[in-house]
Amino acid sequence: MLASEIVRDIEQALAVEEPARGLHLIDHLLRSFPAHLRARILRAKALLALGESDEAAGDAATVLSADPLNVEAMLVSAKLAEAQGDLHQSHAFIGRAASVDSGHNGVRQAVADSVAMLPRDPSALGFAYLNSNWPDLAEREFRTALERDPARVDLRIALAESLWRQGRFDEARPECRIVLDHHPRCLRATLIMAHILAEQGRTAHGMEMLERAGEMDPEYEVAAELYARATLSRMSLPPPPSLPEPPPFSDEAASDVEAGAEISGDSPEDVFTAVGETEADVDSDEPQPAEPDGDVVPDGGDPAAVDEVEESTPVPDIEPSSDRDDGTSDAKEAETAPAVEFSAGWPAETGGRLAADEVAEEDEPEPESTMPASSVGEAEIEVAEPEESPPEAVGAPLDSDHSESDPGEGDEPDLVDDDVAAYSENEADEIDVPEPPAWLGLKADELESELTAAGEPEPDGSTHPDEPEAEPPGESSETGDADTADAFGGPAVLAMGRIGSWDAVADTLAEMLAGGDVKPVAGLMEELARLTGFPLSIWRLLGDGYMKTNRPQLASEAYFRAVRRNSE
């Protein structure tokens, strides 16, 4: 089962005001993906609905730390601030959300419900330009806004994205670095940095960062959206991992949840702060003072870091949450166990931070000391990745070799560079790794033979890019076959999209539209548009479909999306 399917169920549960059921599903999702941002924000909403303000605030802050442009998290925070009587703060959140996405339904509602005014400042204009795909104009506005308020991390990310979208990677990179210095788990900065690294030929490191982003966004929806705007991209997103079906929801669990019995045990911040990220990172956009270099111990050797991990690790947070489920959840323990291990170690977090350090350190001789210190050691401790094998390209070099090859260089910024050097030197044999994942840059036709036929588009979570043989067996069907699509409908088309058979997708969509049923096709296209390589020209089909059904307003929207291709 895909995480997005569970997310849909959660949203549905929350929409029908069943927050307890929603929380049950969220727990299940977070057990596999403890850093899943969408799940966290949904949990914040559910908790808010249940009156668990503190926990909701924790989740919202966690999400904002990782995604400072997350409008929904801002809105939750606004509601929480309002509930606490802090209208000024509430309006500030609403205003910021409106800057980022003034068309968001929640923002409109929030603005309508409050006395907050829509912002008319350079930041709002910058986001409007960015959303309209005018990154050069957006850059100008963000620079102006940052002059006024240099601590605004959200603006710096936006500036980085503006530069990145113009292909000015060398300028975007230091901006990302600044963000990652203070918010090492910032999703967008990580994704942009990953892309830049890959484009600059450092694909392994790019993939490393991409893997880290995958923990927060396992289906790479944000990445797909972001990379679709890239001027060019070598990045190929991995297939979405699957996870077990959620255990049945019981009323007992519901009552437990409603009583707030165990929610607080699953402290969201812990997940993100376990490796040394300060709480201030979570709570504030202000750049935080960095820990001194001297704290960095290269080879898994920072005992303090180890202790910190052991103490603050979310293991106990995860396990109690399973108690909330009924007995059937025990049966899933075996499946969820890796997730526990995963969350306990936060290998990717630490590895990711290492990557961030690495990225920051490589090109610029600037103060690497600004980077959080303890992460390196932790990364090496916890690299053993339970179920998601992709990080092996990351893990192996960090894991053992690093500690042996670089003793004593712990507090030097070159640490990572050395590690990188070791990585590349030993690439062939000494280390049993570093071939870039097979799916990196894999062409659609190569992938086609790996994926199963339309019915099962997603390989299971254990599939490793380097081991295409491990993918679910299935006849390597010709995905361009419209009959297949007819038989399987939307999933089949999505499968085609995932393997990059966009011509087949276009043909199938055209056939579907010829049947006159535009609405389901529109929904399907929204899904498809999140996939890497989605050709914007396909929107034209939807526009045609709407024109044929005499809905020119909708048609114009679809055509606009197709026209954007040309302007890009």
Partner 1 sequence: MTAHDAGPDADLVALLLDVEEVLGAVAWKLGELPRGRWNDDSQDELAFSLLAALTGSLEKGIEDLNLGQLSQIWWQTDEAQCVGFRAGEWEVLVIADPKANVGKLRTRVAGALDENWHLLDSEEE
Concatenating the DSSP letter of every residue in 454-502 gives TT--SPPTT--TT-GGGSPP-----TT-HHHHHHH-HHHHHHHHHTT-H
CB of 554 to partner 1, least distance (A): 8
Tell me, residue by residue from 481 to 520, as one string, x for binding to partner 1 by CB under 8 A and - for no binding.
----------------------------------------
Q: Smallest Cα–Cα separation from 192: which of 130, 276, 123, 241? A: 130
CB of 535 to partner 1, least distance (A): 13
Nearer to partner 1 by C-beta: 105 or 553?
A: 553
What CA–CA distance (Å, rounded) separates 259 from 256?
5
What CA–CA distance (Å, rounded) separates 507 from 148?
51
Is there a contact between 151 and 30 (Cβ–Cβ < 8 Å)? no
- Residue 399 DSSP one-character state: I
Is there a contact between 19 and 11 (Cβ–Cβ < 8 Å)? no
Counting residues that bind partner 1 (by CB under 8 A) gives 19
Nearer to partner 1 by C-beta: 172 or 555?
A: 555
Dihedral Cα 388, 392, 396, 399, nearest 10 deg: -20
- Of 306, 506, 529, 563, the one binding partner 1 (CB under 8 A) is 563
Assign 162 to helix, strand or coil.
Answer: helix
What CA–CA distance (Å, rounded) separates 51 from 61?
17
For residue 567, state whether it binds partner 1 (rule: CB under 8 A).
Answer: no
Nearer to partner 1 by C-beta: 104 or 551?
A: 551
Of 246-254, 288-296, 321-329, 557-565, the segment contacting partner 1 by CB under 8 A is: 557-565
CB of 511 to partner 1, least distance (A): 15
SS3 string, 119-154, reads CCCHHHHHHHHHHCCCHHHHHHHHHHHHHHCCCCHH
Classify residue 535 by burial, with Cβ atoms within 10 Å: 0-12, 13-18, 19+. middle
Structure-block tokens of residue 387? 């179920």
What CA–CA distance (Å, rounded) separates 219 from 198?
19
Nearer to partner 1 by C-beta: 531 or 562?
A: 562
Nearer to partner 1 by C-beta: 105 or 550?
A: 550
What CA–CA distance (Å, rounded) separates 192 from 260?
38
Nearer to partner 1 by C-beta: 24 or 540?
A: 540
Alpha helices per DSSP H over 232-346: 251-258, 268-273, 279-283, 303-312, 315-323, 328-331, 333-345
What CA–CA distance (Å, rounded) separates 102 from 94?
10
CB of 553 to partner 1, least distance (A): 4
Nearer to partner 1 by C-beta: 200 or 537?
A: 537
Of 37-45, 137-145, 417-425, 559-567, the segment contacting partner 1 by CB under 8 A is: 559-567
CB of 108 to partner 1, least distance (A): 20
Nearer to partner 1 by C-beta: 105 or 567?
A: 567
Nearer to partner 1 by C-beta: 88 or 553?
A: 553
CB of 490 to partner 1, least distance (A): 24
Assign 242 to helix, strand or coil.
Answer: strand
CB of 529 to partner 1, least distance (A): 17
Positions 222 through 241 that interact with partner 1 (CB under 8 A): none
What CA–CA distance (Å, rounded) separates 418 from 424?
10
CB of 539 to partner 1, least distance (A): 10
Nearer to partner 1 by C-beta: 452 or 537?
A: 537
CB of 546 to partner 1, least distance (A): 7
- Of 170, 435, 560, 568, the one binding partner 1 (CB under 8 A) is 560
CB of 105 to partner 1, least distance (A): 21
Helices (H) and strands (E) in the chain, counts: 33, 0
Classify residue 549 by burial, with Cβ atoms within 10 Å: 0-12, 13-18, 19+. middle
CB of 555 to partner 1, least distance (A): 4
What CA–CA distance (Å, rounded) separates 260 from 253?
11
Classify residue 331 by burial, with Cβ atoms within 10 Å: 0-12, 13-18, 19+. exposed
Within 10 angstroms of residue 474's Cβ, the number of other Cβ atoms is 15
Classify the phi-psi angles of 99: left when phi > 0, otherwise alpha if psi is within -120 to 50, otherwise beta.
Answer: alpha
Nearer to partner 1 by C-beta: 391 or 543?
A: 543
Positions 346 through 405 that interact with partner 1 (CB under 8 A): none
CB of 509 to partner 1, least distance (A): 15
CB of 548 to partner 1, least distance (A): 6
CB of 516 to partner 1, least distance (A): 10
Nearer to partner 1 by C-beta: 473 or 516?
A: 516
- Of 14, 87, 566, 568, the one binding partner 1 (CB under 8 A) is 566
Positions 299 through 338 that interact with partner 1 (CB under 8 A): none
Q: Smallest Cα–Cα separation from 275: which of 302, 254, 238? A: 302
Positions 527 through 556 that interact with partner 1 (CB under 8 A): 537, 540, 543-544, 546-550, 552-553, 555-556
242 φ/ψ angles, rounded to the nearest 5 degrees: -105, 160
Nearer to partner 1 by C-beta: 442 or 562?
A: 562
Beta bridge partners of 2: 242
Nearer to partner 1 by C-beta: 122 or 543?
A: 543
Nearer to partner 1 by C-beta: 234 or 564?
A: 564
CB of 540 to partner 1, least distance (A): 6
Classify the phi-psi angles of 116: left when phi > 0, otherwise alpha if psi is within -120 to 50, otherwise beta.
Answer: beta
Q: What residues line the site for partner 1 (CB under 8 A)?
A: 537, 540, 543-544, 546-550, 552-553, 555-556, 558-560, 562-563, 566
